[in-house]
Structure 1
């Protein structure tokens, strides 16, 4: 199948790495693994941190101009995809391009990872909210990345067009690292946190982690931190310097060995959609202590591959971590279960199969809709 792709939240060629960019690239890689031909139709970025009616109107105009440019290009070259696919859609990152092209060329239109916040229906984000809702109404298939988003989308997307597409990753480098022999977990437990040091939810996650660890200062542990950003000077002093090792930001290829050499990933996951780090850590054979946030329970099996606590609750987080610190053998058991869990449910091959089913459903719905019309 020929698939035209766009990511209005964060284009695949955006220079700043993030979990969102990585997931977009993984979707394309999985589709190609399944034998589909994927082109990036546009790298237009609709996302804005702050909205206003004037700014949203200007973005809409620029997006529609981009759509017209693509129309001319496809018409001149004779290119016509079988489906238009958009990744990550919501009021701050609406998609005007995909629906316009799908309508112009008579294509099925599908959306992966959409969320909806009805409180944004009015105010500064009203234009973006309306555009996102219009795209969802046009979509022949919509996939949420986790059940919490699916529940919110159910108000506007009929059940026959809505599904949950569990996230996945390229497991090979993490599985290879997991086979490197390391000692069984022992005191002091070797903890790892991986997260960018930027304003907002990432900083809040570091704050909750620091608060939880302060409750365990009489217990043996050592924390390695991988990450950097504008809030570094605010975040690092939260932790006792003699009990942390800060490695800064590392390239993706360096991460598997660091995951595999630790006993546990610890991350509160404030407002995380699902947390790619949890997939990576489990694929590398380590369990996680995490916040029970949005899609995290969909990829971490509580009590088996990790322990989840109420989002933002440092006391709960500390209690879960204490449970493993006092019984280090639990870290090894969770790590073994984690590796098997990812291998069974979250590989690139599993993603390729789920994505093929998804785009096939979108095409079938479009065919049925147009036939009825």
Structure 2
């Protein structure tokens, strides 16, 4: 199948690393693994930091101009995809390009990862909320990455147009690094990975620091991977004698760092699901995390990790105090984490689920098109 792809939240070539960019790239990889021909239709970024009707209208006009440009290119090349696929849309990053091109070329339109916050129906993001809802209405199928998003989307999508498509990753680099790692058996080595920017990321570091301050009587060390404008502030939160800051790391270097640690710790304030939790578990690490949105879908509480209420530093500390003195329990969590990822979140499983997802889009498009062409009947007579 020929698939045209775009990611209005964060294009695949965005220079700033993130779980969102990683997931987008993995979707393309999985589609190609499944035998599809994927073409990035556009790297246009619809995401806006600030709302307001004027700003959103301007972005819409820019997006539609981009759709016009793509139309001219496709027509000149004689290219017509079988389906248009958009990764990640919401009120701050609506998709105007996908629906426009799907309509012009009469092809199915599918969305993977969409979130919907009804409180944004009014206020400065109202126009973005409406635009995102219009894209959802046009979609032949929408894939949510976790149950929390699926519940919100269920208000505007019929059951046959809504699926849960669990996130996945290429486990091989993480499993290989874990196999080569040497566990020293000393005090637990904790690892946190996150950007150091304003808002929820910095808040996550604050919660983690608060929790660890309640565990100073225990023997542990912490490594932090990440960088950003708030790095100096984040570093000031943690005891320097126990904490190592490594800065940002290239993706290809991450497996060895996961494998060099024993327990992954991250409060995950307002995170959709936290791609780092997949990476950590694939590396054989148990997890202590905040029970946020889709995190409980990928971290099994009591089996592959321990979850605390979002933002609750005291509860987070209780979990740390349970695990830090118990290396055997940490080891068991890590072993179960490896099994969990192997049986639930591999790249191959992602490819199979995406194939089924696309088939649903084709089937739904055919059924909707047939319904649109079907003459209305009343009392046995066509009108």
State the TM-score, normalizing by the size of structure 1.
0.98
Q: Which stretch has the larger CA shift, 250-259 or 26-35?
A: 250-259
Distance in 1 (alpha carbons) for counterparts of 2:125 and 2:161: 25
Q: How many equivalent residue pairs?
A: 372
Q: Tell me if structure 2 keeps the 8 A contact 1:185–1:329.
A: no
User: Which residue in 2 is equivalent to 1:194?
Assistant: 193
Contact 1:275/1:296 (<8 A) preserved:
yes
Is the CA contact (8 Å cut-off) linking 1:168 and 1:279 kept in structure 2? yes
Q: CA RMSD in A?
A: 0.9
**How far off is 1:181 after superposition?**
4.0
Specify the SS of the correspondent of 1:88: strand
Q: Is the Cα–Cα contact under 8 Å of residues 205 and 268 in structure 1 kept in the other structure?
A: yes
Partner secondary structure for residue 218 of structure 1: coil
CA-CA distance at 1:185 after TM superposition: 4.3
CA distance in 2, matches of 1:181, 1:14: 32
Give deviations 1:98-126, integer Å, cap 9, x for gaps.
Answer: 00111111010000000011111122212
Q: Partners of 2:126 and 2:304 in 1: how far apart?
A: 41
- Pair 226,107 (structure 1): closer, same or farther in 2 beyond 3 Å: same
Q: Distance between the aligned counterparts of 1:117 and 1:340, measured in 2?
A: 34
- The 3 A distance-change label for structure 1 pair 153 and 352 is same
For residues 40 and 47 of structure 1, the distance between their equivalents in structure 2, rounded to whole angstroms, comes to 17
- Whether the 8 Å contact between 2:190 and 2:223 is mirrored in structure 1 is yes
Deviation digits for residues 333-358 of structure 1 (CA, Å, limit 9, x no counterpart): 11111111111111110100000100
Aligned to 2:230: 231
Unmatched segments (≥5 aa) in structure 2: 373-383
Task: Kindly indicate whether the alpha-carbon contact (under 8 Å) linking 2:181 and 2:259 is maintained by their aligned counterparts in 1.
Answer: no
Q: Matched residues in 2 for 1:302 and 1:226: separation?
A: 24
Structure 1 residues 150 and 185: alpha-carbon distance in aligned structure 2, compared to 1, 3 A threshold: farther
Deviations 1:248-304 (A, max 9, x none): 111111111111111100000001111111000110111110000111111111111
Which whole-Å CA distance do the structure 1 matches of 2:205 and 2:259 have between them?
A: 21
The match for 2:87 is: 87
- Identify the residue that residue 353 of structure 2 maps to in structure 1: 354
Matches within 5 A, 1:91-130: 91-130=91-130
Tell me the SS of whatever aligns to 2:241.
helix
Deviations 1:189-210 (A, max 9, x none): 1101111111111100000000
1:52-201 correspondence runs (5 A): 52-183=52-183, 185-186=185-186, 188-201=187-200
Q: For 2:196, what is the secondary structure of its paired residue?
A: coil
